[in-house]
Amino acid sequence: MKEFTLFCVLTFIFTYTAGQFGLWEDFKKRADVVHNYEYKALQLSKEVRELRMENESLKSKVSKLISEKEHLAMNVVGKKSRSIASIPKQSVGDLVNFELYQWSAEKLLGVGEQALHFKKYEKSAQFYNTLVNKYKSHQSVNDKVLFEAGIAAYESKNHYDWSAKHFETIVANHPNSKYYRGAKLWLALSHFHQGDQDKFIATVNEFRKKYRNTQEWKVLSRYYEEINYRYNK
């Protein structure tokens, strides 16, 4: 009994003293901090468990997808490759693949202009030619575009028939165009490379009579003496 009485007295003294010097308040704050950490630790532990469960679920899905892929691969082995009917085949050398990509007129024109600027004549020629064929009534297909299409086709050295067609359209439909005389010049050169010397010489003679002082004649005259000599010979 005396021991219990002594314990109570000492507890009272400690509590009173701690209150006096703020020790009890400090102890309470520390307890709150510890409690807060314990709460957060429990919360993080729960989140970790959930993430682990989610990770296991994803691993299971990945394994399933791998199995399905391997199964499909096994079914393909030994079979002849077949093209899907709904997807058009890509032609070898066709840089446009219009049936596959369904380019708009604006996109065809943009690619054609850019390729011509960087002297990628084959690409430019194909995009311009597709524009003219697929969107012949489009407002963008004017004398300037036709002239650029003809130049790209000519400079590609693979499509003199295209260049002749584009330049012929300018000569036939745009007689007042500033590209008219140039179109006749390049049309003659396209005829020459196609082996049509009669049309080439006819244009040469016309330029020699009408446009002898023009820049176009200076270009065309480079071919004149040699071709005229071979033609008359």
C-alpha–C-alpha distance, residues 156 and 165, integer Å:
15
For residues 115 and 204, membership in a common domain is answered with yes
Average pLDDT over residues 37-47: 69
* pTM beyond 0.85, yes or no: no
**Which residues, at least 6 apart from 188, have a Cβ–Cβ distance to it below 8 Å?**
199, 200, 203, 204, 207, 220
C-alpha–C-alpha distance, residues 145 and 166, integer Å:
9
Return the pLDDT at 216: 81
Q: What is the pLDDT of the chain when averaged over all its residues? A: 79
For residues 106 and 211, membership in a common domain is answered with yes
CB 101 within 8 A of CB 123: no
Higher pLDDT, 107 or 51: 107
Return the pLDDT at 68: 66
Average pLDDT over residues 13-26: 54
Return the pLDDT at 149: 97
Phi-psi label, residue 47: left if phi above 0, alpha if psi -120 to 50, beta otherwise = alpha
Judged against a pLDDT cut of 60, whether residue 34 lies above it is answered with no
Task: State the maximum Cα–Cα separation within the chain, in Å, rounded to a whole number.
Answer: 146
Per the structure, the count of domains in the chain is 2
Which residue type sits at 13? I
Take residue 203 and report the two structure tokens written for it: 């244009």
Return the pLDDT at 204: 84
For residue 17, count CB atoms less than 10 angstroms from its CB and return exposed for 0-12, middle for 13-18, buried for 19 or more: exposed
For residues 104 and 139, membership in a common domain is answered with yes
C-alpha–C-alpha distance, residues 233 and 227, integer Å:
10
Average pLDDT over residues 130-142: 95
Judged against a pLDDT cut of 50, whether residue 83 lies above it is answered with no
CB 127 within 8 A of CB 96: yes
For residues 28 and 103, membership in a common domain is answered with no
The answer to the question of residue 81 being in a domain is no
CB 182 within 8 A of CB 147: yes
Judged against a pLDDT cut of 60, whether residue 82 lies above it is answered with no
For residues 106 and 180, membership in a common domain is answered with yes
For residues 203 and 129, membership in a common domain is answered with yes
pLDDT in tens, 90-127: 566 899 999 999 999 999 999 999 999 999 999 999 99
The answer to the question of residue 54 being in a domain is yes
Domain that holds residue 167: 98-232
**Which of 207, 204, 130, 203 lies closest to 166, judged by CA?**
130
The answer to the question of residue 89 being in a domain is no
